[in-house]
């Protein structure tokens, strides 16, 4: 079973938008059974996909030994897409760590294995926070493939080596984790962005996906509606690009795709 962690230690680069739209595309257009695990205390993916309410959340899984995973899964309004929600309790794990308590960093990996054994889902998507927090480390440890959304600016491009070095440290412990590649997001036509993208493609320490995701006002609009942009505005540039990205990722174009 494939488990995609959507990771960047920088904020606001389109991690959640990528996680939610990739999850929606795989569920609705590829008929995969998808579980989106929200690992970010900001809980934007949870808020996008589930109505307001009281939920059992990831913080419980990371702190309670042998938590029963069925109690943490909720159906979204998108057929085939379930959510394991987050809430701001996840922030307490960072403090626990400072106080010497150890969150269960393998909890999500154990969840992935249990789900695979039960054949409960075809794919996991793990939306990470913009920090190498315990939840982010647990998500990377549980992943088979890391996808790095990146805005093409100098700081982000320079930050790529630092980010992949951090991921590599975790890969020493979990060698089955693989960096699938980085995905340029919030892309728009300008000399600066195009030159930045060319530099990224030349020097990135990992694969750069062929697809880039165009900046589109429909993305911001979709975040107000609780719908992914792929259904809110299917013909917008960003929606088209997310579909092309899913196709590239799944290897429908004959390269070494992820065969989800």
Q: Does 180 bind ligand ATP (CB under 6 A)?
A: no
Q: Does 219 bind ligand ATP (CB under 6 A)?
A: yes
Q: Are strands 34-38 and 123-127 parallel, antiparallel or unpaired?
A: parallel
Q: Does 106 bind ligand ATP (CB under 6 A)?
A: no
CA–CA separation, 58 and 32 (whole Å): 22
Contact 13, 156 (CB under 8 A): yes
Q: Does 17 bind ligand ATP (CB under 6 A)?
A: yes
- Which of residues 195 and 225 has its CB atom nearest to ligand ATP in the complex? 225
- DSSP of 30-70, one letter per residue? S---EEEEE--TT-HHHHHHS-SS----HHHHHHSTT--GG
And the tokens for 1?
Answer: 């079973």
CA–CA separation, 124 and 143 (whole Å): 8
- Which of residues 16 and 56 has its CB atom nearest to ligand ATP in the complex? 16
Q: What angle do CA 219, 221, 227 make, to 5 degrees?
A: 75
**Piece of 5-13, 56-64, 76-84, 168-176 that binds ligand ATP (CB under 6 A):** 5-13
Residue 120 C-beta: closest distance to ligand ATP, Å = 26
- Which of residues 207 and 215 has its CB atom nearest to ligand ATP in the complex? 215
**Which one of 35, 123, 147, 186 is in contact with ligand ATP (CB under 6 A)?**
186
| Number of other residues whose CB lies within 10 A of the CB of residue 5 | 30
**Which one of 88, 113, 118, 220 is in contact with ligand ATP (CB under 6 A)?**
220
Q: Does 201 bind ligand ATP (CB under 6 A)?
A: no
**Piece of 7-15, 96-104, 107-115, 156-164 that binds ligand ATP (CB under 6 A):** 7-15
Within 13 Å of residue 230, how many CA atoms lie on the same side as its CB? 22
And the tokens for 134?
Answer: 């315990």
**Which one of 33, 171, 207, 215 is in contact with ligand ATP (CB under 6 A)?**
215
Which spans of this chain sit near ligand ATP (rule: CB under 6 A)? 11-17, 40, 42, 44, 130, 185-186, 213, 215-216, 219-220, 223, 238
């Amino acid at each position: 079973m494939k488990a995609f962690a959507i990771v960047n230690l920088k904020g606001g680069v389109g991690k959640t938008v990528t996680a939610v739209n990739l999850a929606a595309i795989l569920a609705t257009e590829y008929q995969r059974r998808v579980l989106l695990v929200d690992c970010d205390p900001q809980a934007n993916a949870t808020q996008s996909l589930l109505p307001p309410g009281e939920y059992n959340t990831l913080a419980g899984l990371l702190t309670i030994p042998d938590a029963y995973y069925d109690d943490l899964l909720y159906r979204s309004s998108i057929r085939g897409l379930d959510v394991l929600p987050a809430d701001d309790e996840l922030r307490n794990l960072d403090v626990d760590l400072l106080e010497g308590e150890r969150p269960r960093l393998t909890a999500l990996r154990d969840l992935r294995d249990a789900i695979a054994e039960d054949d409960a889902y075809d794919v996991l998507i793990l939306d990470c926070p913009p920090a190498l927090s315990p939840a982010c480390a647990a998500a990377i440890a549980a992943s088979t493939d890391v996808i790095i959304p990146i805005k093409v600016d100098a700081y982000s491009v320079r930050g790529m080596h630092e980010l992949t070095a951090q991921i590599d440290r975790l890969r020493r412990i979990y060698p089955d984790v693989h960096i699938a590649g980085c995905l340029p997001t919030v892309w728009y036509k300008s000399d600066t962005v195009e030159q930045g993208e060319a530099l990224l493609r030349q020097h990135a320490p990992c694969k750069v996906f062929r697809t880039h995701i165009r900046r589109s006002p429909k993305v911001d609009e979709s975040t107000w509606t609780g719908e992914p942009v792929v259904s809110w505005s299917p013909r917008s540039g960003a929606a088209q690009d997310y579909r092309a990205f899913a196709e590239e990722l799944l290897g429908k174009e004959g390269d070494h795709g992820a065969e989800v």
